[in-house]
Structure 1
Amino acid sequence: MTGPSLRKARFDLGFGLLLPLLLAAQPVATDSYLPALPAIAKELGSASTSLTLFVLAFGFAQLLCGPLADRFGRRPVLLAGLGCYAVAALGGAFAGSVAVLAGWRTLQGFSMAAILVCARAAVRDLYPAHEGPHVMARGLTGLGVVGLLAPLLGAWLVQGAGWRWVMVSMALYALLLLALCWRSFGETRRPLAGDLSAPGGSARAVFASRSFRAWASLAATTYGGLFCFLLLSPMVYIGYLGWSPAMYGWIPAGGSLVYIFSTTLCRRLLRRHGPVHTVQLGAALSIAGASIQALGCWLAPHSAVPLLAGHAVYCLGHGIHQPCGQAGAVGDLPHLAGRAVSWSGFGMMMVAFSVGQIAAQFVDTGFSNGAWPMVAPMLLAGCVLLAIAFLWLPRLQHPMKKESP
């Protein structure tokens, strides 16, 4: 292999290594932040606003970053996002009030949208649709490794140095990734013939795709259930069950370990059964995990065992749904990859925000509802996932048809 083919192979190898690091910007910003929430609340006041605004910014910013990435290319939008991510994390480290922290976290959410939109769109730029789920599964396996370490590092920093060093570590991660991408990430977007931008009316074209609607709904539903865990589990385990922040840090870390295994399993299932049957198995795992937690809340409300076991099973399903959902949403839209990714990501964040805000209303200082506010949304997500996997996806004529990029 010589010439352009060799250069393409080298670039693909570089992207294969960069993809999990880019996707991991999300758990670095969220999972490492979770153990810091009680410490932030103690020093500055309630930190839930900063997490909420972060999610909102991440969701809405994707609607802007997708068209920008389609028009100007992935590389400049990605580099700008990484730079702003680092600046926002450093700003949050020096915040003197909840309002200032929330402002910096909002900018960080905006920046993370640019990073993830460009990373996911580049997958569609470089690989045909039928390879997308496999590539995303590999990338999400690497994300799971970072997600395994992030809450442990966050808990260790909170206890040993204070929550502000969690923010500093986020900035260092972004700066390192910025240097790697500046050197190794080339432009992946292919200009359309006769035009450098995507065609007009592209948002309508995205939603006209039956495949996009189905697979994006799958990704949004599974993430909505998991987000309620991310939002409320510190209150449940630290506040309700009395665990220390260091002990709590092992819970999202353990979930990431299961997620790593699940994304690896997803690749094998895709080769053997195809995407629809794969997500049907994932839906069965999702509802089973949520049901275990619900039985625990009913029969043993003060025991962590069913909560932990159910969370592990739900994460098995989540690790199957995410690669298929994210890649499937953009599979039929190679010419609108940035916009398709952005609308899919926006849907994920809006579902997560809406369900999370409703669930949070049932958490009080006395924890009179126990773990139910965290568990009930996951149970609802499991039911919806079953409906999508067994009733909606099989009706698509070509769920993941093969095509060249």
Structure 2
Amino acid sequence: MKRSPNGIDFVWLLPLLLAAQPVATDSYLPALPEIARDLGSASSSLTVFVLAFGIAQIPVGLLADRAGRRPVLIGGLILYVIAALAGALAPNVEVLAALRALQGVAMASILVCARAAVRDLYPAHEGPHVMARGLTGLGVVALMAPILGAAIVQWAGWRWVLATMALYAVVLLAMCWHSFGETLPVRDDRQPMPKGGLREVFASRSFRVWSSLAAATYGGLFCFLLLSPMVYIGYLGFSPALYGWIPAGGSAIYICSTTLCRRLLRAKGPYVTVRIGATLSLCGAVIQALGCLLLPHSAWPLLLGHAVFCMGHGIHQPCGQAGAVGDLPHLAGRAVSWSGFVMMLVAFCTGQIAASFVDAAYTHGAWPMVAPMVVAGVILMLIAFAWLPALQRETERVVPRSQ
């Protein structure tokens, strides 16, 4: 168990740091209709947050490797507080969008440093266990955040949702200020600063495999997040209140799946664990596809398939995120940032393509949401049963030789 200089276990800080993302996004979703009513528009403030979060990870990773994790993390938390508080006072949608973009940059700083610190503090084989535990905490917050956000909007208004984000970040800032010591390994003054960048990161076969795993599973899930309101509310006729239980149920399954992931890692190791996860992901997507073919107006195959896909997702994310940086401890910040950027880029592009097939008459039914998940399931199976075994054989050849 790794401890900070002040004695607080890092494993307790990690889920709180990772959970800053659903606090900034999931709790914000119930506020969108009221923001649109007050300011005239709302979607731009969410879009620029996602884009800023994805792009900012690249320079943040470089800065975290050069300046250290602690100053970048503390700076990100301070910026998160300022942007959220200022956003609560935004007079128009343009100002709100700009401040949400700043919050996206702050979010990138927090997540990159949190994930890089896992590699700083733990050996590569322990990383997936630690990330799974942290993502379990994230799942709990993701389950609660939209419910809490909706309650705040109903009783106090959308501006207090942003104020609550700021309060969360203030508490987290105080904890990290006193408990998060610098995790970047100390280098001898005579040792040059690592200069590896994009070329060295992508030259790592381990990085390419594991980051592809994380990007594929998130790309499939993102299409659900983006298009499920249109499928369940617009196409199948669910009420918004009833629909809200669907992503909440997915989050509950995700929590259970990250717990299962830790047990599978101990019993089976990462390679077998990922194969189990890929099988679940593809099975979930196939169940949905069969529902689209045989029962196109029934929600049950979609719900069952989504639950199974989420079980696979809860296995892939800890393994993919930790594995992408496992082979690059000296470039942990940059490896984490490029992995996160690739994941967001794949999700954004896939989501835009899938959304282009949705029309007002829902001509294609649920297929725009389901088809990308099927593709993701197939890719995950190829990674798990073809690409990862090749990496495993390569690793087994290198380890005895080094011994």
TM-score normalised to structure 1 length: 0.91
Which sections of structure 2, spanning at least 5 residues, go unmatched? Answer: none
Q: Which of 257, 265, 271 is 1:270 aligned to?
A: 265
Structure 1 residues 270 and 76: CA distance shift in structure 2, 3 A: same
Question: 1:399, CA displacement in angstroms?
Answer: 7.9
Q: Report the counterpart of residue 100 of structure 1 in structure 2.
A: 95
Amino acid at match of 1:253: A
Give yes or no for contact 2:276–2:312 (8 Å, CA) kept in 1: yes
In the alignment, does 2:284 pair up with 1:285? Answer: no
1:209 Cα deviation from its structure 2 partner: 0.7
Partner of 2:68: 73
- Opposite residue 231 of structure 1, the aligned amino acid is L
Distance 1:95 1:228, change over 3 A: farther
Unpaired runs of at least 5, structure 1 = 1-5
Pair 306,43 (structure 1): closer, same or farther in 2 beyond 3 Å: farther
Q: CA deviation at 1:45?
A: 4.5
Measure the CA separation in 1 of the matches of 2:264 and 2:382: 20
Match of 2:168 in 1: 173
Match of 1:224 among 200, 204, 219: 219
Aligned residue for 1:398?
395
- Correspondence for 1:311: 306
Give the deviation of 1:7 after TM superposition: 9.2
Deviation at 1:235, TM superposition (A): 3.0
2:4/2:181 contact within 8 Å kept: no
Read off the aligned partner of 2:98 and give its amino acid letter. Answer: G
Match of 1:358 among 353, 356, 359: 353
Whether 2:31 is the aligned partner of 1:36: answer yes
CA distance in 2, matches of 1:324, 1:339: 18
CA contact (8 A) 1:301 1:370 kept: yes
Shift of 1:82: 1.1
Distance in 1, Cα, partners of 2:345 & 2:396: 25
My pick for the range that moved more, 343-352 or 245-254, is: 245-254
After TM superposition, give the deviation of residue 11 of structure 1 in Å: 5.7
The reply on whether 1:55 has 2:50 as its aligned counterpart is yes
Is the 2:6–2:178 contact (alpha carbons within 8 Å) kept by the matching residues of 1?
Answer: no
Distance 2:281 2:93 in 1: 35
Give 1:133-144 correspondences, 5 Å limit: 133-144=128-139
**Which residue type is aligned with residue 110 of structure 1?**
V
Among 125, 131, 147, the residue aligned to 1:130: 125
**Which secondary structure state, in structure 1, belongs to the residue aligned with residue 194 of structure 2?**
coil
CA distance in 2, matches of 1:185, 1:266: 27
Q: 1:238 to 1:180 in 2, by over 3 A?
A: farther
Does the aligned pair in 1 maintain the 2:2–2:10 contact within 8 Å?
no
Measured on the aligned residues, the alpha-carbon RMSD in Å equals 2.4
Identify the residue that residue 190 of structure 1 maps to in structure 2: 185
Letter of the 1:235 counterpart: M
TM-score by length of 2: 0.91
Contact 2:2 2:121 in 1 (8 A): no
Q: Distance between the aligned counterparts of 1:37 and 1:303, measured in 2?
A: 28
Deviation by residue 1:368-391 (Cα, 9 ceiling, x = unmatched): 333322222112111111111111
Choose which of 86, 89, 106 in structure 2 pairs with 1:91.
86
**Letter aligned with residue 264 of structure 2:** L
CA offsets, 1:207-245, max 9 Å, x none?
A: 111000100110011111111122222333334444444
Tell me the distance in 1 between the aligned counterparts of 2:239 and 2:268.
43
